Amino acid sequence: MIFKAVLGERPYPDHGLGLREWAEIPPRQVRLDQLISTKRELALDRLLADDSTFYGDLFPHVVEWQGSLYLEDGLHRALRAALQQRTQIHARVLVLNEPPE
């Protein structure tokens, strides 16, 4: 098993972070089997491209919400790590708290 689960949506509230705000979050190690992907589809050409992170963040974006870790961006990087027999990746993890009622 590579991921804990695969969803086709983001179950957490919109956080509104842009690339600049994500870049301020220091990366930490995350186990691949703890991640829940928010994307169901994969572009094979992007997975195999040598320069797939050239225009984006080097680290995947993960949202921690209600005790679960959701892979929001970086599916291709995470799968590439799994294909290299790695069980962990470095990712930027945003901790979202429950909105006040």
pTM over 0.95: no
Tokens of 70: 């959701």
- The C-alpha atoms of residue 72 and residue 29 are separated, in whole angstroms, by 16
Q: φ and ψ at 59, to 5 degrees?
A: -105, 140
pLDDT for 5 equals 94
pLDDT for 42 equals 72
pLDDT for 1 equals 73
**Residue 88 neighbours by CB under 8 Å, 6+ apart:** 29, 30, 31, 32, 81
pLDDT tens for the 101 residues of the chain, in order: 789 999 989 999 999 999 899 999 999 999 999 999 998 877 666 656 665 555 566 899 999 999 999 999 999 889 889 989 999 999 999 999 876 45
Domains delineated in the chain: 5-9+19-96 (3.90.1530.10)
What is the number of alpha carbons within 13 Å of residue 47 lying toward its C-beta?
13
